[in-house]
């Protein structure tokens, strides 16, 4: 199972980051794609899990070097876990 560090405290939505070094969770949720030789490669998929524990949004793959990916992530967070005032995800 993935090692899960404590959630980061903030005024906005609670954030939990997890790592999946054995790829157990990634395989269950389709976070891999097949390579030409039949192997699997990590898609760097990013999931937002809602308060009920369901996958509410995912970026497949998450394009970490593309600034637009962070705009899309911010919009998704504000839609899924809306907060008011200063705490809105910037």
Model pLDDT for residues 42-90, shown as the tens digit of each residue: 888 888 888 888 999 999 889 999 999 999 999 998 898 877 665 555 5
Q: Is pLDDT larger for residue 71 or for residue 18? A: 71
Q: Is pLDDT larger for residue 53 or for residue 13? A: 53
| Token pair for 18 | 């997890």
Closest among 48, 37, 42 to 15, alpha carbons compared: 48
Least confident interval from 7-16, 29-38, 54-63, 68-77: 7-16
pLDDT band at 13 (very low <50, low <70, confident <90, very high): low
pLDDT band at 28 (very low <50, low <70, confident <90, very high): confident
């Amino acid at each position: 199972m993935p090692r899960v560090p404590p959630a980061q405290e903030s005024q906005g939505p609670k954030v939990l980051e997890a790592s999946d070094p054995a790829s157990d969770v990634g395989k269950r949720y389709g976070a891999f794609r097949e390579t030409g030789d039949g192997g699997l490669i990590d898609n760097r998929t990013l999931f937002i899990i809602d308060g009920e524990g369901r996958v509410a949004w995912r970026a497949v793959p998450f394009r970490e070097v593309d600034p637009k990916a962070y705009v899309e992530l911010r919009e998704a967070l504000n839609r899924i876990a809306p907060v008011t005032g200063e705490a809105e995800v910037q």
